[in-house]
Amino acid sequence: MAKGRAESYAQAYAQAYVEARTGSVVRVLEQRGIAVSEAERERVLGCADMARLDVWLARSLTVRAAAEIFEPGDD
């Protein structure tokens, strides 16, 4: 029983971490005055790959358009 709770907690923690990272990518772009289309927002918010989100977050600090955070093959 305790193992099941621990796994459930770990999954919830991981999901919360992903949600925080996806939100950060969008927030950074918006705070920099960069428009984020609904499709771009959905793409970011739908991503659960932490390595990819880290790359997108780093790119969000320097791009001039939201689409520039994505590279070919980022699907």
Quote the radius of gyration of the chain (alpha carbons, Å).
Answer: 14
Q: For residue range 11-22, list pLDDT tens digits in order.
A: 887 888 888 999
Nearest-5° angle of CA 7, CA 48, CA 34? 140
0.85 surpassed by pTM: no
6 confidence band (pLDDT: 50, 70, 90): confident
Q: Dihedral of the CA atoms 57, 59, 60, 63 (nearest 10)? A: 180
| Token digits of residue 45 | 């918010």
Polymer length of the chain: 75
